[in-house]
Amino acid sequence: MNRYLGDERYELKDRLGHGGMATVYGARDLKLDRDVAIKLLADNFAGDDEVRRRFSREARLAAKLDHPNIVQVFDVGEEEGRPYIVMEQVDGGTLGDRLDGRRRSIPSVEGLRLLSQLCDGLGHAHAKKLVHRDIKPQNLLLRSSDGCLKITDFGIARVAEETTRLTQAGKVIGTERYMAPEQLSDGKITPAVDVYACGVVADELLPQSRPPELREIVERCLREDPSDRFSDARSLGEALATLDGDGEAGVVRRIHSQASPTRRLRPSGPATADWPAPTEVARRRRSIRARAAAVVAALAVVAAGVLIATNSGGSGSSGKADSANQRPAPTTTVPTSSDPAEQARELADFFRAQSR
């Protein structure tokens, strides 16, 4: 016999899983003609007011989140005193199933990809000031079609810095292996408790052969003092984004896109796109002129040295002899042509006249 919820809108199908407080069923939304998952509170908790409040609160908090790595909540309701939550159905098992059934370690490149998705989804929740408090492989679904990771079960989630409590002091809720020290001691709940759980998940997921940078990131997540960990999942994700796994060992590289971009200077003159493109003939002319100018400069230096030596060479003779032997000044002048080749020829004539 078929079983329905929500005034026969949802038709229950096979059981997908169950936990301490609820059972999850596959179902069909007959109104919208789509497959969904329905989380139904266990019958033995229907009379527990605290559990009912927590269950309803999960739906309210999760409905505020809209991210591809978080299971989406569609609807809430109650059937015969038992609250239920209608959610997105994810075809595939959990990360816990994957880890339990593996025969060898998951390659670093795949592990880092899954951790990156976890940080993306959890970072979105932290930005909304929501702390999950129960991150573990069993609450991380893997969609079979593309391997997309989706976070589920916000049943014990809590708003960061919230003053009210739904549990009695000293009553610990969560999975002990993945709980931060302050969570076990009923201390202050911050996004750092989720970061700690992510560190435990990473330690289970990644191969033991890790590069030093990756090992340091995981160890930082697991530090006892919350202030020594990453402040939230987004900060952890940014650290993981600097790593690129490659097989079992893993290779580390920096993501250049994370670096501060270099400020580009704007040209103050005319745009270079408007400048005419130089032709081959123009380039050759500039080259010839440059070489000729260099020759002229070198000859000028030599000429200066010759003139100085000539003027100082006869200082020991008498003034009369100098006067008698003095020749009239040559009429040749210093080169004045603007063409470098012509300048070189005129300069050569000038030197020959000076030596007579």
118 close to 149: Cβ distance less than 8 angstroms:
yes
* Rounded distance between C-alpha atoms, residue 215 and residue 194, angstroms: 18
User: In one letter, which amino acid is 269?
Assistant: G
* Rounded distance between C-alpha atoms, residue 122 and residue 131, angstroms: 8
Residues in the chain: 356
Look up residue 49 and give its two tokens: 């007011």
* Rounded distance between C-alpha atoms, residue 208 and residue 192, angstroms: 24
Q: What is the secondary structure of 321-334 as a DSSP string?
A: HHHHHPPPPPS---
* Rounded distance between C-alpha atoms, residue 41 and residue 51, angstroms: 9
* CB burial of residue 343 (10 Å; 0-12, 13-18, 19+): buried
Residue of 134, 153, 194, 232 marked active site: 134
- Note if 134 is an active site residue: yes
233 close to 199: Cβ distance less than 8 angstroms:
no
Contacts of 345 (CB under 8 A, 6+ apart): none
Please identify every residue annotated as catalytic.
134
